Amino acid sequence: MSLKLPQAPNSGLFKKGYSSYSNEDGAITRNVEAVREIASILQTSMGPSGRNKIIVNKLGKKFITNDAATMINELEIVHPVVKILIMASKQQEFEMGDNTNLVIILAGEFLNVAEKLLSLGLNVSEIIQGFNLANKFVMETLDKLVVDKIASFETDLIKAVKPVISAKQYGVEDIISKLVVKAVQSVVNPKNPASFNVDGIRVVKIMGSSLSQSEVVKGMVFPREPEGSVKNVTKSKVAVFTSPIDISTTETKGTVLLHNAQEMLDFTKGEEQQLDQMCKEINDSGAKVVVAGSNVGELALHYLNKYGILVLRVPSKFDLRRICQVCGATPLPRLGAPTPDEMGEIDVIETKEIGGDRVTIFRQDESSSRTATIVIRGATQNNLDDVERAIDDGVSSIKGLLKDNRLLPGAGAIEIELSKRITQYGETTPGLNQLAIKSFAKAFEVVPRVLAETSGFDSTEVISKMYAAHADDKDTDGLRQGLNIDTGDVEDTGVLDVLATKKSAIDLAVEATNTILSIDQIIMAKRAGGPVMPQQPRPGNWDQDD
């Protein structure tokens, strides 16, 4: 009798090429290890002293940054569990614009403590239940720990914006935060701050000079000059066309029979008259500025110059929409004279030279504009990109303020306070949930620990000092005690975090952690498509006829 060899599990169930990892193979442990890996990459980049990472993407473009959102976008991650975590982080970026790295770092720490609980013999459902109870307690507690709020967008905004920017650009946060606040104040309507749109703040990077030469322009700045001879206009109507400003060409080919030279001259003259007539109609409508979303023909440009009309070509459809926003114009898909309703108005259009680059500025002189542009200067392209990311984070953090204007103490103070209070809550909870809640509290120590380590201080000593400073429940000054990253002392640093952003980050981290913990099996299909064969060189010379 022949010996029958055992087959692989599920061999007859799935198509050939499937791979399956179950709990018995240590699927949860592997998932935790994968998350730990991505968390450790982002961990050292957290906070004002966070280290930079060099990322070279598949196109060979280099990024030198400590911004978590940029790293996540550029890293091509294939692990399905880590992708769940990245989805949570991207949701935080989309909704709040800040604390994307906190989501991943906290989730990584929650999974670390969960792994230890699993090795002690706790069930996954008991850990998830404990984490959910602790998270509910955190959401209620955060409301009680509020120390300040943004009463006015005109005076207090810098309190919320400055800490966000200092986490990315420590040392120049004063300059950048003033630029961001000025830009936001010129766009936001004081009577209705909720109408603020993040897309209303644009950034233009111009190489040269230094960051201190950066400025805010009420309106839009385009890093190109107008096409024609007219470069500056004041108080004018604006017509915006999405179609090319040129002689219209037919979609089908046609043949024209010309009998003599006069007919040929008349044929081209008809086109010229048609263009002249169109430019005259635009001029008669009162529009002295034409914005083209596509090409501008040379002949059309000649006639527009003849009537003294400024022509600017804007190839980006998004920028075209923003011009319409600034001027109040309607983009027209047809050529011809615009109606008074379709035209917009602009106070000043000027062409300036900034650092060797010619730029066109659309500026509204009224008290509030729909769009503001921050023109940033710097020595290197990489530095400009990094400052732009810091500005984007600063502007996006206002999303959280619009939802809730309350502020929490920063610099690791709130995490230590939460850790202390969750531990106390865990003591009063009966059953095995107590273990999960206490471990959940321990995970919050990761923030002050990373802040201390990246600043060059002993994390154990800093955390024990912070616990001592937060020991008195009734002392509100103790609540504000965070880490001063310059001296290593525990004191009231004046750093504040937005309540809504912090709540969202913790909530998303817990949700992602519970989702990952509840996975006990990964079943992966074989990737579609066969192996890519390397192209063989063809015999013979490269320019030889086939």
pLDDT 10s digits, 107-127: 888 888 888 888 777 777 888
Q: What is the pLDDT of residue 105?
A: 85
- Which domains, and CATH codes, for the chain? 18-147+409-525 (1.10.560.10), 219-368 (3.50.7.10)
* CA–CA distance, 224 with 353 (Å, rounded to integer): 10
pTM value? 0.75
Q: What is the pLDDT of residue 9?
A: 55
Question: HEC states along 333-376?
Answer: CCCCCCCCCCCEEEEEEEEEEECCEEEEEEECCCCCCCCEEEEE
Q: What is the mean pLDDT of residues 351-375?
A: 75
Q: Which residue from 498, 415, 476 is spatially nearest to 451, judged by alpha carbons?
A: 415
DSSP conformation class of 198? G
- Three-class SS of residue 423? helix
Confidence check: pLDDT of 546 > 80: no
pLDDT 10s digits, 254-298: 777 777 777 777 766 666 777 777 777 777 777 778 887 777 777
Write down the mean pLDDT value for the chain. 76
Q: What is the mean pLDDT of residues 311-336?
A: 77
Q: What is the mean pLDDT of residues 204-218?
A: 80
Comparing 191-195, 440-444, 481-485, which segment has the lowest mean pLDDT?
Answer: 191-195
pLDDT 10s digits, 471-530: 765 555 667 777 777 777 777 777 777 788 888 888 888 888 888 877 777 676 776 655
pLDDT 10s digits, 122-159: 777 888 888 888 888 888 888 887 777 777 666 677 77
* CA–CA distance, 308 with 5 (Å, rounded to integer): 89
Of the chain, the percentage scoring pLDDT greater than 70 comes to 84
Q: What is the pLDDT of residue 519?
A: 75
Q: What is the pLDDT of residue 331?
A: 77
Helix, strand, coil distribution of the chain in percent, nearest 5: 45, 15, 35
pLDDT band at residue 160, thresholds of 50, 70 and 90?
confident
Q: Which residue from 109, 108, 92, 112 is spatially nearest to 100, judged by alpha carbons?
A: 92
pLDDT 10s digits, 89-98: 888 877 777 7
